[in-house]
Amino acid sequence: MICEGFYLPGLAPVVYCDKSLNDHKNCKTDLKIFVNRLNSVETVVPYEYHKFDFCVVDEDNSPTENLGQVVFGERIRPSPYKMTFKQQITCQSVCKKEYAHGDKEKVSKLKFLKNGIALNYNHHWIIDNMPITWCYDVENGQKYCSTGFPIGCLVDKDGKQKDACVISNKYSEKNTYYVFNHIDVTITYHSGTNTDWGQEFGWDGGRIVAAKLEPRR
């Protein structure tokens, strides 16, 4: 079989390698996750990531959007979520948020977050220039994959599960907002073994071919 391919300028494949090869000039070890603006099918108003009270980092080193991204309203920012190639992380805390009843600023932020959940605002995360997808079960044993995932979900006062709450009976308590503040990320990569580009890395190097996540409370 003969195959032909091409690559888009600025989107050449990136080779990642094991931390033991950290000083190698032809590969990277850190997997950087970027966050984009949040949007909702319930409203036309998008919000930048930092508008919500999420874990954030200094945005001075944000990547520069190209013309197409600017036209479509993309707002790509660095995130506090850190990963290393071929290093499995079981559980890692990013930050902690507390909301006291007497703190007006905190109460206002919590109210804004709850409103975002009620309107089903969705995150959009990016790694290695590709979206991190969320796949979940739908009817007839099928799976649906989306390039965004919700902040959380709502069960109304009548016990009706809204939006993402329908995917699990764990989200069923009446008049309750659930925040998806735990994210499991799975990275799939193509090993450099038996490839021209991976001769100097072998099993210690690879190129990312997919990234999926599972949000939960």
Phi-psi region of 189 (alpha: psi -120 to 50; beta: other; left: phi over 0): beta
In this prediction, residue 196 has a pLDDT band, given cuts at 50, 70 and 90, of confident
Helices (H), the chain: 67-71, 104-118
Lowest mean pLDDT across 3-12, 38-47, 57-66, 183-192: 3-12
Amino acid at 45: V
Q: What is the pLDDT of residue 68?
A: 61
- Could you tell me if 32 and 127 are in contact, meaning their C-beta atoms sit under 8 angstroms apart? yes
Determine how β-strand 149-150 pairs with β-strand 152-155: unpaired
For residue 162, the tally of other CB atoms under 10 A from its CB is 17
Average pLDDT over residues 120-126: 97
In this prediction, residue 204 has a pLDDT band, given cuts at 50, 70 and 90, of confident
Q: What value, to the nearest 5°, has the Cα angle with vertex 191 and ends 186 and 196?
A: 150
Q: What is the pLDDT of residue 69?
A: 62
pLDDT 10s digits, 34-91: 999 999 999 999 999 999 999 999 887 777 666 566 656 678 899 999 899 999 988 8
Identify the burial level of 195 via C-beta atoms within 10 angstroms of its C-beta, where 0-12 means exposed, 13-18 middle and 19 or more buried: middle
Average pLDDT, the chain: 88
The structure's pTM equals 0.88
pLDDT over 80 (residue 148): yes
